[in-house]
Structure 1
Amino acid sequence: MTTSAPESALDVISELLIERLEIPSDEVRASAPMRDLLADSLMIVEMAMAVHDTLGIAVEEQELRDATLEEFAAFVDARRTDR
């Protein structure tokens, strides 16, 4: 029996940004500030809910505003391993 490694948070969050929030894929880069990708408060709330629904990780809106995509993904990965 082989098991594959779980998808990284960076991959999952990138996919959520592109698929659910319809952010153009060329804008979704690891170095992109989340506050630039999520243009308004509604998008921030939607992203927080999507991360919770998909990964089971609760995030605060401020955590989304203050990080790059890569930093936010690392934060989520750290919370996933703490469980």
Structure 2
Amino acid sequence: MRDTVTTSAPESVLDAISELLVEKFEVPSEEVRGTALMSDLLIDSLMIVEMAIAVHETLGIKVEEKELRGATLAGFAASVEARLTDR
């Protein structure tokens, strides 16, 4: 589904976010890879807001829209994972 990802984020967080991208946002699975920019996958502001809400609902972590705009999928997953383990 995606390139080999070298990140500290465990597959479960990366998989959860990838699944949201494919199933909720209808991003083609071949585009969902660790090096992809979230802003390229979520093509408009509404999608970015909806993803922030979806991550909160799915993983219980609040994320800022600006985090999504500037991160790769792997980097975003690592950031979310770091907050999950800090609880």
Q: Same fold (TM over 0.5)?
A: yes
The aligned counterpart of 1:56 is: 60
Contact 1:30–1:69 under 8 Å retained in 2: yes
Per-residue deviation, 1:7: 5.8
Whether 1:13 aligns to 2:17 is yes
Contact 1:8–1:77 under 8 Å retained in 2: no
Whether 1:74 aligns to 2:78 is yes
Q: Please state whether the residue corresponding to 1:32 is helix, strand or coil.
A: coil
Structure 1 consecutive aligned stretches of length 4 or more whose deviation exceeds 2 Å: none
TM-score, structure 1 as length reference: 0.90
Q: Distance in 2 between matches of 1:18 and 1:58?
A: 20
RMSD value, Cα? 1.2
Q: 1:65 to 1:55 in 2, by over 3 A?
A: same
State the percentage of identical aligned residues: 72
Which protein shows a greater Rg?
1
**Structure 1 stretches of 5 or more lacking a match?**
1-5
Whether 1:45 aligns to 2:52 is no
**Structure 2 stretches of 5 or more lacking a match?**
1-9
**Alignment-mate amino acid for residue 62 of structure 1:** K
TM-score, structure 2 as length reference: 0.86
Q: Distance in 2 between matches of 1:48 and 1:9?
A: 14
